[in-house]
Amino acid sequence: MRKNIVSVIGGHNCTDNMERNAHILGTKLAKVVDILVSGGLGGTMKAVCSGFKAGGGLTIGIIPGYDKNEANEFVDIVIPTGIGLARNVLVVKTANVVVALPGRRAHFQKLLIVYNLRYGY
């Protein structure tokens, strides 16, 4: 049986409040899905990964560069792509469901990917 996967997308930078909320979200998601996928870097990605790990879940970080050390310490499996922001398609397509947290330009790009995959280009 295939694992249930959630992708959480959000910004590199976040407020303390957003970081707390992302961590809480991660712990709650760990109770209902098997694997969390994110961009694997800092900010909300790090916070949600830390919460998911605290809840006993497995995390995957699909990072834009080649260096696995760029991933945050809460990523269990690092997938270095070397394709920059194009990796956002992989972050979105890997999951059964995508949860969007506040972010900036690349975050908006991921939301467009989700929309286009659902409704067409």
Q: Environment class of residue 66 by beta-carbon count within 10 Å: exposed (0-12), middle (13-18) or buried (19+)?
A: exposed
Kindly report, residue by residue over 52-92, the tens digit of the pLDDT. 999 999 999 999 999 999 999 999 999 999 999 889 889 98
Kindly report, residue by residue over 93-104, the tens digit of the pLDDT. 899 998 988 866
By the 8 A CB rule, do 30 and 99 touch?
A: no
Backbone φ and ψ of 98, nearest 5° = -120, 130
Which contiguous run of DSSP H or E holds residue 114?
helix 105-119
What is the distance between the alpha carbons of residues 71 and 52, in angstroms, rounded to a whole number? 15
Q: Give this prediction's pTM.
A: 0.89
